[in-house]
Amino acid sequence: MKVSVAALFLLVLTITSVVHSQPKIPESVNPPPNCCLKYHEKVLPRKLVVGYRQALNCHLPAIVFITKRKREVCTDPNNDWVQEYIKDPRLHPRHSRRLAVNITRWEEGQAQIHNSPW
């Protein structure tokens, strides 16, 4: 009897550790950090928008507007108002925060580069 109780305990312990060691959601399901999970439903006032970036290669393609308060708002690229905003020449496209690099000046044949929040 002692052997079967010990074997049963070891089996339960092994199964429990295997179940808890595996992630509940596979990594491939998680969206990249620059992708949107849902759209903002309301029209964003144009006076609040200072820029935008595209997130079109994501599961949920989006135009992400950047507001004066540096908030990012995900919008449906098929909405008419979104298309109007991105055609506005005063509204400039921006890059993802992770990928943004600005060349600030040219010195002795070399560009001076620094990371930018946009």
Residue carrying the six token digits 């950047």: 66
Cα gap 104→111, rounded to integer Å? 7
pLDDT band, residue 99 (cuts 50/70/90): very low
Identify the residue with better confidence: 23 or 71.
Answer: 71
CATH 3.40.50.2300 fits 30-115, yes or no: no
In order, the DSSP letters of 19-73 are: HHHS-SS-GGGSPPTTS-SS---SPPPGGGEEEEEEETTSSS-EEEEEETT--EE
Residue carrying the six token digits 């930018």: 116
CB 66 within 8 A of CB 53: yes
Identify the residue with better confidence: 70 or 16.
Answer: 70
Q: Is the pLDDT of residue 92 over 70?
A: yes
**For 48-85, what is each residue's pLDDT tens digit?**
999 999 988 888 999 999 999 999 999 999 999 999 99
> pTM of the full predicted structure?
0.55
* Across 33-48, average pLDDT: 91
Would you state the pLDDT for residue 98? Answer: 46
